[in-house]
Structure 1
Amino acid sequence: MIEEELLRDAFARHEEQAPPLDPLRRAIDALATRRRRRRTATRTGAAVVAVAIALAVPVQLWRGGVADYVAAIEVESPVAAPEGPLNLLLLGLDRRGAMTDSRTDTIMLVHLPADGSAAYLVSFPRDLATDVPGAGRTKINGAYALGGVDGARQAVERLTGVRADAVAEVEFSALGPVTEALGGLPVCLPEAVRSEHTGRTYPKGCRDYSGTQVADLLRQRKTMPHGSYDRDRLGQRVLLGLAKKAGELALLRDAGTVSRLAGTPGITLHTGDLSLLGLALRLDRVEAAHIIGISQPTFYSEKSGGVWYERLDPKVAPGLFAALQGDTMGEFVPLHPDWVLQE
């Protein structure tokens, strides 16, 4: 009896020092899952690093600290991936001189649901009407020129009702060197695309493209039937190509390629209070086949103050924003197949 009392007293004294069980259990489960995936994964297991590239994760993430990153990937990292849904804002810039001459010609919200089941690439038209405090009515691609990254972030947050947890500025010129570092990108075009800048015609079908060709493709708008809507889908197709190539190369664990990408100019990442390594680990959960492009399929134009603007579908857009806010994109997609990118 005396020994039992002594044992109870000892356990009581140390009980407060014991770690909480739930976080420990989750960490053990995550560790076991990652080890199982390492034993059974195919070469596409790290495919969603394509989104990480587009969000500057491997490019800017460990600038000056690539070795630490690779070491953390090769062993079990103590850094936990963030929980809950995440929204990562991608701004594609066709920069022409000063920031006041820059427009975010590609505006894409990458939604990562809490269950880690997919990544949704939600594109917004560059000419979408929006109200900027202090500037009045303008096109959403002008919010960047008026207020920089914060202005663009706030415009998208006001539009969607969700918080942008991280923002990446990606200049179109940066995609050339990134593509070349990866040895080209596979891109599938549903129809031929003629370049208004070079006169070149890119044929229908799937083929590998060079860095110069990818950068040229992403600048096309006026020669395509649906203008910037088609360019938004081109941007999504390039991301899918990045996903496939990154999977083939197992890029997330390729120290040499990550090191080369780290020197690419024209890509800047703003992560706020997110852990950079944790964000990369979270992105690594998603398989390439589960990256889903979402964009409006048709025009909805309006004229205001002598200027033509685009607006979102008044029936579908509220459901899209509700799905982003409620983390129910998996329910939105089958109800609106015409909004989903088809390969």
Structure 2
Amino acid sequence: MIEDELREAFARHEAQAPALGPLRRAIDGLAARRRRRRAVTRTGAAAVAVALALALPVQLWRGQFEVPLPLGVGASDTVAPSGPLNLLLLGLDRRGTMRDSRADTIMLIHLPADGSQAYLVSFVRDLATDLPGFGKIKINGAYTLGGVEAARNAVQRLTGIRADAVAEVEFDALRGVADALGGLPVCLPQRITSQHTGAVFPTGCRDYTGTQVADLMRQRRDLPHGAYDRDRIGQRVLLGLAAKAGSRSLLSDFGLVSQLARTPGITLHAGDLSLLGLAMRLNRAEAGDIVGISQPTYNGTKIGGVFYEQLDPAVAPRLFQALRDDTMGAFAQAHPDWVLQE
């Protein structure tokens, strides 16, 4: 009697069970999405990740439709996202633990929907901001206190823009990337003497090694506008990197791709965005179409005995509105003093 009742119960449950085929496909699809998500949040995520992490609208897709990259993404993923994109770059001066690390370069890279240009919008590291639970801090402290998401949220509170992807790039990682590309051309408007090594970087355009680039990116003292000038140096390095990478047919050079993939100190957080799709999207802008945007000079104040920088109260809201409205071209024309000059 008990055996018959058990058989009837199993029969009833078997009839109610869903078909295994669709269930299996759904499970496999979920597992694949999770594998892709892990693949795009990692250190040294090959050449496309390096390009994205350094915010380069480089020529990554010039006729190359068979890409020799082990990125864990398939052909179904290679769809360029539409609409404007905003990528947050955090240039890190890594010193031991997280609490010893600082985001000394904070840059929002805006890619307009029409693909006409790319805009590198720098935020000086001493900019005053409020961090929930900590009160008034300098914006570079958001990363130190709360990591990537705290830094992303700080920029979002400031601009009203939620970054679509975030890249952590250690200054020392630039050394390996620059050397792998055979050095970088960087154009400087003035002579700079390193406060760390004593090296002299002359006015004009020169090719610099990885060690020289890493040194140059740290300079701010004795410059007319301090950290603002350092941010402009960072923009000039990215311009040089974009120009060099754009001339190397990056994705067709598997040896170079493998070398870049081993570069430590670069981590990309792209969520569900496809790396190859982003590469296709980034390709719309030429290296010469990259525009650097930053506040031209100091606007400091003391709050509670601590010196902070403040954004221009008249122009900064217009900048953030232009980012939200995807009208950065009009902003650059209206405010040429905020535009990086050659």
> What band does the TM-score fall into relative to the shorter chain?
0.7 to 0.9
Greater Rg over alpha carbons, structure? 2
Corresponding residue of 2:186: 187
Corresponding residue of 1:140: 139
Quick one: structure 1 residues 119 and 252, their matched pair in 2 at CA, closer, same or farther if it must change by over 3 Å? farther
- Number of residues paired by the alignment? 287
Looking at structure 1, the residues matched to 235 and 265 of structure 2 have their Cα atoms a distance apart, in angstroms, of: 19
* Contact 1:50–1:239, Cα closer than 8 Å, also in 2: no
The structural deviation recorded for 1:85 is: 0.6
Corresponding residue of 2:90: 91
What aligned pairs does 1:1-343 form with structure 2 within 5 A after superposition? 51-52=51-52, 54-55=54-55, 67-68=68-69, 79-343=78-342
Q: Deviations over 1:73-106 (max 9, x none)?
A: 9xx9872100111100000000111110111000
* Contact 1:170–1:266, Cα closer than 8 Å, also in 2: yes
Gaps of 5+ in 1: 1-47, 59-65
Looking at structure 2, the residues matched to 225 and 68 of structure 1 have their Cα atoms a distance apart, in angstroms, of: 44
Paired amino acid for 2:324:
Q
Looking at structure 2, the residues matched to 209 and 151 of structure 1 have their Cα atoms a distance apart, in angstroms, of: 34
SS class of match (2:247)? helix
* Contact 1:129–1:138, Cα closer than 8 Å, also in 2: yes
* Contact 2:56–2:242, Cα closer than 8 Å, also in 1: no
Paired amino acid for 1:67:
P
Paired amino acid for 1:197:
H
The structural deviation recorded for 1:50 is: 8.2
Looking at structure 1, the residues matched to 165 and 115 of structure 2 have their Cα atoms a distance apart, in angstroms, of: 17
Corresponding residue of 1:45: none
SS class of match (2:318)? helix
How does the TM-score come out when normalised to structure 1? 0.80
The structural deviation recorded for 1:56 is: 9.2
Looking at structure 2, the residues matched to 86 and 249 of structure 1 have their Cα atoms a distance apart, in angstroms, of: 25
Looking at structure 2, the residues matched to 282 and 112 of structure 1 have their Cα atoms a distance apart, in angstroms, of: 9
Gaps of 5+ in 2: 1-47, 59-66
Quick one: structure 1 residues 115 and 227, their matched pair in 2 at CA, closer, same or farther if it must change by over 3 Å? same
How does the TM-score come out when normalised to structure 2? 0.80
Quick one: structure 1 residues 56 and 335, their matched pair in 2 at CA, closer, same or farther if it must change by over 3 Å? closer
The structural deviation recorded for 1:276 is: 1.4
Looking at structure 1, the residues matched to 210 and 106 of structure 2 have their Cα atoms a distance apart, in angstroms, of: 21
The structural deviation recorded for 1:255 is: 2.0
Provide runs of 4+ in structure 1 moved above 3 Å: 48-51, 55-58
The structural deviation recorded for 1:310 is: 0.1
Looking at structure 2, the residues matched to 279 and 313 of structure 1 have their Cα atoms a distance apart, in angstroms, of: 32
* Contact 2:92–2:104, Cα closer than 8 Å, also in 1: yes
Q: Deviations over 1:45-77 (max 9, x none)?
A: xxx99853514999xxxxxxx73469x99xx98
